[in-house]
């Protein structure tokens, strides 16, 4: 198998893994163009990520899935939420590669960093998400999780 074939094979497995997790947990994925705009709407059981075409887009999708599936992925404090989503991604990827580690470092800063929280981008993103959330909540296809229902129960019910 050539290097190109091996790479294509790996990317295929990454994409299939994300699809499997989405189906398994009843998470909906919408597509965005760039990892910069990737986000998770935990209360809607939804991630918005670019298509999985390489290691970085794979780890982006896994990180956003972590926001939905990690027990602490929806923590009130941004930094705890980000760390939990990364920890989930790192524990659940098919393999953890240097490119993935570099991607984490880029968005989180040095070990235990606080970059996402001190960043004004967080607030901009949150405002944008609130708009998306409102839009989605009004469409019949996406009903927000009722208050009091656990995220696991909500996703399970919706996944069936
Ligand atoms: Zn995140």
In percent, the amount of the chain with pLDDT more than 70 equals: 74
φ and ψ at residue 30, rounded to 5 degrees? -105, 155
Residue 40 CA, ligand 1 centroid: distance in Å: 7
What residues sit around ligand 1, an ion, with C-beta below 5 angstroms? 82, 85
Q: Quickly list H helices, the chain.
A: 3-25, 55-69, 78-92, 98-108, 115-118, 120-137, 151-159
Question: How far is it, in rounded angstroms, from Cα 82 to Cα 61?
Answer: 13
Residue 83 within a domain: yes
Q: Are 108 and 89 in contact (CB under 8 A)?
A: no
133 alpha carbon to ligand 1 midpoint, in Å?
16
Residues 6+ away with beta carbon under 8 Å from 19: none
Cβ atoms within 10 A of the Cβ of 124, count? 10
For residue 61, the model assigns a pLDDT of: 96
Confidence at 28, pLDDT banded by 50, 70, 90: very high
Query: pLDDT digit string (tens) for 119-159?
Result: 445 545 655 666 666 666 665 455 666 667 777 777 777 66
Range of the domain at 47: 3-141
The predicted structure's pLDDT at residue 24: 94
Ligand 1 center from residue 39 Cα (angstroms): 7
**Predicted pLDDT at 113:** 57
Instruction: Please return the burial class of 58, using the count of CB atoms within 10 Å of its CB with bins 0-12, 13-18 and 19+.
Output: buried
Q: Does residue 94 belong to any structural domain of this protein?
A: yes
Of 54, 55, 38, 41, nearest in space to 116 by CA: 38
Mean pLDDT of the chain: 81
As for how many domains the chain has, the answer is 1
2 Cα–ligand 1 center, Å: 35
Digit-coded pLDDT (tens) for 86-98: 999 999 999 999 9
More confident residue, 95 or 105: 95
**pLDDT confidence of residue 96:** 95
Q: How far is the CA of 64 from the centre of ligand 1 (A)?
A: 6
pLDDT of residue 102 exceeding 50: yes
- Whether 131 maps to a domain, the answer reads yes
Q: How far apart are CA 9 and CA 4, in angstroms?
A: 8
Name the phi and psi angles at 35, rounded to 5. -60, -25
Domain-embedded: residue 160: no
Q: Is residue 38 part of a domain?
A: yes
Rounded distance from Cα 113 to ligand 1 centre (Å): 13
Give me ligand 1 centre to Cα 106, in Å: 12
**Domain presence at residue 137:** yes
Q: Is residue 129 part of a domain?
A: yes
CA separation for the pair 85, 92 (Å, rounded):
10
If you measure from the C-alpha of residue 5 to the centroid of ligand 1, how many angstroms do you get, rounded to a whole number?
31
Furthest CA-CA distance within the chain: 52
Decide if 152 is inside a domain. Answer: no
Q: Which residues of 133-142 are buried (b: 16+ CB within 10 A; e: fewer)?
A: beebeeeeeb
Going by pLDDT thresholds of 50, 70 and 90, the confidence category of residue 72 is confident
């Amino acid at each position: 198998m050539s290097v190109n074939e091996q790479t294509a094979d790996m990317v295929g497995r990454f994409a299939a893994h994300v699809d499997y997790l989405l189906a398994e947990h009843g998470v909906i994925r919408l597509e965005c163009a760039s990892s910069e705009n990737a986000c998770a709407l935990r209360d809607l059981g939804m991630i918005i990520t670019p298509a999985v075409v390489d290691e970085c887009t794979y780890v982006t999708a896994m990180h956003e899935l972590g926001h939905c599936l990690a027990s602490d992925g929806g923590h009130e404090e941004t930094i705890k939420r980000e760390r939990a989503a990364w920890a989930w991604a790192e524990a659940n990827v098919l393999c953890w590669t240097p490119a993935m580690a570099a991607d984490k470092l880029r968005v989180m800063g040095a070990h235990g960093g606080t970059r996402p929280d001190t960043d004004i981008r967080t607030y901009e993103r949150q405002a944008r998400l609130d708009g998306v959330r409102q839009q989605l909540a009004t469409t019949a296809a996406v009903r927000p999780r009722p208050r009091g229902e656990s995220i696991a129960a909500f996703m399970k019910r919706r996944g069936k």
